[in-house]
Amino acid sequence: MVAPVGPGDARSLPFQILVWATSESLRHTLQIGLELPDTIVRALPTAAEAEHANLPENVLCAVIALEKATASFDTDVGVIRKLRGSGVPIFALGAHLANWPIAVRCQVLLAGAQTIFESKSQAGLANLRETISRQMFERIRESEQRNNLREIMKQHGVVGESRAMLEVFQRVLRVSRLSDLPVMLHGESGTGKELLARAIHRLDPKRSRGPYVALNCSAVTKELAESELFGHRRGAFTGAEHSRKGLIRSADGGVLLLDEIGDLSLELQAKLLRVLQENRVLSVGEDEEVPVSVRVIVASHRDIPEMVRTGEFRGDLFHRLNVLCIEIPPLRERREDLWPLVSHFYEKYRELGTGLPLSAGRDFADALVGIALPGNARQVENLVRRAIAQKDDDTPLGLADLPREVLQSIVEPPLGRLSEDRSSGQTAREPDKSSDVSASLDSLLATSTGNLNQALEKCERVLLQMTFEKARGNQSQMAQMLGITPRSVYSKLRKYGLHLSR
């Protein structure tokens, strides 16, 4: 008998193959025909369960049997549509496919099925079995790769279990091998840009034995930045009592990280461009350039393409740097990484506490899920370190160890932020919305004193606010909805202060 699967059923089995068929005999046939090592065939009891089933991660695929000549055909296709959003591969089965109109087969594929197999021939079932076997081996390979990837991330101090962070580090592995190409890292403050830059250096087969040199461009003045980067000759300017070769030459054979590259002056951007083009550097006060071999990694939280558009950043330098770009998502878009981060920082700072708490409690991390974390991982680190330092007993870190302002922000979320009541599933506070767009625009224009730029900015702010609320603050979704890049979304949110209302 085929075992049913219901909502929340997460029984630990090697792999599950979900089956939908209206007839009991056909389900039994599929159970026998699809038996594979390390798998179990399970049936969706009703069509409604396809939409609401909580599918465990070990579901390998879904097989939907279609009965074209019966009244259940529309129901069968409806099951495919309902399962489409789960991300599980869907395979359809049908009898006498050669007699099916092309339009009907297209309907099945458009509903979400990857392939339609013939159910009335041994060859068709054999092809389905082979396809599922390949799917299983691919899943096993991907699982092994993810485990290996997590081990490498751990070796380099990178913490994350989310698919987003695994994809980021997978890209780090790829770009690290391209030793002579620059890398651009983009992400909000506290997302770990320098940590990834160090990982790229250590993983670079050509430059890992060379030096790693870093400069925060926002931490030095324009005058000092030139000397810091390019070096100077003794006596080149007042106070230059000794010659200095500069950070670019100090990084020769290795990696140079220029953090917050958006704060570098246009004049020094021009000099940096020449270094990248010619692999030569000219120190202040020198007459001849010196050859260098250095890999440049730049990082910024600012929207560099937008800065190019406004003339704040050189377009030619941006195109020279923007060869290998890695976008690091903010923590609010990968909340599943909160618990690994809390655990990691607890292990890092546990010796700070006099009471030596036994562990980091789950509710400590769960509380952070519901608040804005503009400081990302750095802010989580500070909260954990502060909690351990002030701990005076040996109980696990919990809600009582969080700062009062954090607890207050959970109880009273910022105005305009959507917070879900977990017990009822209802929205706790709805943002203000205008039901009359024309009236809203009239109101905006009336307060713009006839200035077109002011009116456009106000309209843009309203559109961003509406999109922000609809996408629940997910900037990747906002970018898709607005037809602009995630960097532009981030820049505009900062411009209007909307990122604070998440």
pTM above 0.85, yes or no: no
List Cα–Cα distances, 186 to 79, 227, 382, in angstroms. 41, 26, 22
Q: Which of 103, 104, 86 is nearest to 95 (CA)?
A: 104
Strands 16-20 and 40-43 come out as parallel
Say if CB 370 and CB 402 are below 8 A apart: no
The pLDDT value recorded for residue 495 is 74
CA dist 313 and 273 (Å) reads: 12
Q: Do 50 and 19 contact (CB within 8 A), yes or no? A: no
Contact between residue 331 and residue 337 where contact means Cβ atoms under 8 Å apart: yes
How far is it between the farthest Cα atoms of the chain? Answer: 93
Quote the CA–CA distance of 99 and 208 in Å, as a whole number.
62
Query: What is the C-alpha to C-alpha distance for residues 283 and 244, in angstroms, rounded to an integer?
Result: 9
Helices (H), 279-337: 304-310, 315-321
- End-to-end CA distance of the chain, in Å? 49
Q: Using the 8-state DSSP alphabet, how is residue 309 labeled?
A: H
Q: Which two tokens stand for residue 227?
A: 């000397």
Rounded Cα gap, residues 302 and 316, in angstroms:
18
CA 251 to chain centre: 31
Q: Rounded to the nearest 5 degrees, what angle is found at the Cα of 282, between the Cα atoms of 278 and 288? A: 95
Contact 431, 416 (CB under 8 A): yes
What does the pLDDT read at residue 75? 79
Residue 168 is which amino acid?
A: V
In what order do the strands lie in the sheet containing 255-259? 212-216, 255-259, 295-300, 183-186, 324-327
Written as tens digits, the pLDDT of the chain (502 aa) is 344 443 333 334 578 888 888 777 777 778 777 878 878 888 776 666 655 555 667 788 889 888 776 667 887 888 888 887 777 888 998 888 888 888 888 888 888 888 899 888 888 888 888 898 988 888 888 888 888 898 999 999 999 988 899 999 999 999 999 999 999 999 999 999 999 999 999 999 999 999 999 999 998 888 788 888 988 777 667 667 777 888 999 999 999 999 999 999 999 999 999 999 999 998 887 778 899 999 999 999 999 999 999 999 999 999 999 999 999 999 988 988 999 999 999 988 888 766 565 678 888 888 888 788 889 999 999 999 999 888 887 788 888 889 888 888 888 755 444 434 434 344 444 444 434 444 555 555 555 555 566 667 777 778 888 888 777 777 777 877 887 777 777 778 877 777 543 3
Question: Which residues are paired to 57 by β-bridges?
Answer: none
Question: How do strand 255-259 and strand 212-216 relate by DSSP bridges?
Answer: parallel
- Nearest CA to 183 out of 3, 79, 283, 328 is that of 328
